[in-house]
Amino acid sequence: MIIIPIKDVCFSHRENRYDVKQGKFNWTDKIEIWDWDHCNVGLVRTFDNKLLVVVRSKTNKNSRYMGNKPVELRYMLGFEVNKVSGPRSEIYTAWENRKSHERAGPEERWVVQLNDDYWIWEWAKEEIDIDSSSISRFYQLIKEEVTTHVLEGTQPL
């Protein structure tokens, strides 16, 4: 069963930087944090009762490869959750456009950290507090999902 708890949030993950030379894709040893906006985040249980987070996003870009035609890029990443912390408030600067080195911030964001390398977050809003945010609701949903399965005998996060 898939649960889509929040829509239109941001997602960041720590990953090696890639490089493309002469049409070949290679991973480098340089580690960076990648930011994605307008994401939908869901939870799913595997048959062996592992809790997975599934992040989906899409954006429109022009493809030089396709002759400068507009294309829709879809992004999906799933990962097992072993550790959850948050929600918390922090100051953050996000990438807007890596090619032009444009950044958004620094601004306050509300964030839930998953494992050591993943963050679900949104920019803070003046009209509500963090406890009323979709990030806080997402955190509560994960806690409830963990608690439910702990009672059924699985391992806690």
Predicted confidence (pLDDT) per residue in 46-84, tens digit = 888 888 999 999 888 888 887 888 988 898 999 999 889
Cβ–Cβ under 8 Å, residues 44 and 3: yes
Task: Point out the least confidently predicted range of 9-13, 73-77, 101-105, 127-131.
Answer: 101-105
C-alpha distances (whole Å) from 95 to each of 11, 32, 44, 65, 105 are 12, 11, 28, 24, 9
Cβ–Cβ under 8 Å, residues 96 and 102: yes
Looking at the domain assignment, is residue 81 inside a domain? yes
Which residue did the predictor score with more confidence, 2 or 82?
82
Query: Mean pLDDT over all residues of the chain?
Result: 84
**pTM for this prediction:** 0.80
Number of domains composing the chain = 1
Give residue 45's domain range.
2-18+26-151
Tokens at residue 37, please? 């906006």
Looking at the domain assignment, is residue 144 inside a domain? yes
Looking at the domain assignment, is residue 157 inside a domain? no
Kindly calculate the radius of gyration of the chain based on its CA atoms and give it in whole angstroms.
17
Cβ atoms < 10 Å from Cβ of 87: 22
